[in-house]
Amino acid sequence: MWTLSGFSDEISPDFTEQCEVASGLGLKYLEVRSAWDVNILDLSPDQLATLRKTLSSYGLKVSSIGSPIGKIFIDEEFEPHLARMRHAAEVAKLLEAPYIRIFSFFLRPGADPAEHREAVIERMRALVRVAEEADLILLHENEKEIYGDVPARCLDLIRSVGSPYLRLAWDPANFVQVGVRPYTDGYATLRPHVEYVQIKDALFADGSVVPAGEGDGELAETVRALRHDGFDGFFSLEPHLASGNAYGGFSGPELFRTAWSAFTTLLQNEEIEYA
């Protein structure tokens, strides 16, 4: 039985509407990235209390904190960002989320990733130490234009940091947008480290994001392999069907329902049970 979740701010800025639409689709979990147009790490204590109360009233839990940790340039000052990581751990504990999504730092245009590898690994180790102390798992997402945007560097991060508190969030659309065939080019090497799957598909032709199964993200091949491998974890809808940028995306209620329908239809066609 696989568990569905979703980036609920893709539905609406209003957190109550996020919960209403998600629960109406039968989701039991959300991935919280922002509410009321405020990033999850910038919500006030009162806003976080309201968020917790709203989740409870709809019978929803949090699968992961969709944080922006690691979305600064590698040459920017790190200490304030490390403090932000500590706050992310506090928020995750408050919301009883087992995971925090992170990234491996933007590189300047034209930069050689190899020249920044040592700095990236050092910073990632510092982030992971915070997670270890808080007993939380960090999920590295293969975002565009960061160090870990292709399978080889994702694997390098995991092996070099060498901690069970750093795992991978698999995003097929992001791989497509950097010219990688996700299943063909990355599954075999990365599968042992994949803990969480983000459901987003895209086209090689222009990088545009489309519903699951309609692009070049090899989602059918991937879910078949995951089932064969006995994967038992979260699949988080991140549709980006109306808009998207380096810091998030939006779909609206109807397109979020379209994304949910596309992925659940794919699962049904593969005779995969989900909740």
Establish if 29 belongs to a structural domain. yes
Rounded Cα–Cα distance for residues 107 and 116 (Å): 8
Q: Is the dihedral of CA 13, 14, 19, 25 positive or negative?
A: negative
Do 25 and 239 touch, CB atoms closer than 8 A?
Answer: no
What CA–CA distances, in Å, run from 228 to 191, 194, 212, 232? 12, 14, 20, 11
Establish if 174 belongs to a structural domain. yes
Q: What is the pLDDT of residues 141-199, one digit of tens each?
A: 999 999 999 999 999 999 999 999 999 999 999 999 999 999 999 999 999 999 999 99
Rounded Cα–Cα distance for residues 207 and 204 (Å): 5
Rounded Cα–Cα distance for residues 201 and 154 (Å): 19
Q: Tokens 């590898």 appear where?
A: 117
Establish if 122 belongs to a structural domain. yes
Over the chain, what is the mean pLDDT? Answer: 97
Please give the single-letter amino acid code of residue 4: L
Establish if 47 belongs to a structural domain. yes
What dihedral do alpha carbons 100, 90, 22, 223 form, nearest 10°? 20
Closest CA to 67 of 146, 138, 153: 138
Quote the pLDDT of residue 245: 72
Establish if 261 belongs to a structural domain. yes
Q: Where do runs of H (alpha helix) occur along the chain? A: 15-24, 45-57, 79-94, 113-134, 151-161, 172-177, 188-190, 219-229, 252-269
pTM of the model: 0.97
Quote the pLDDT of residue 244: 74
Establish if 274 belongs to a structural domain. no
Strand 137-141 relative to strand 166-170: parallel, antiparallel, unpaired?
A: parallel
For the chain, the straight-line distance linking the first and the last C-alpha, in angstroms and rounded, comes to: 7
Please give the single-letter amino acid code of residue 33: R
CATH code, domain with 154: 3.20.20.150
Instruction: Please list the ranges in the chain whose pLDDT falls under 70.
Output: 246
Give the domain extent around 97.
Answer: 3-269
Quote the pLDDT of residue 195: 98
Establish if 275 belongs to a structural domain. no
State the total domains in the chain: 1
Establish if 67 belongs to a structural domain. yes
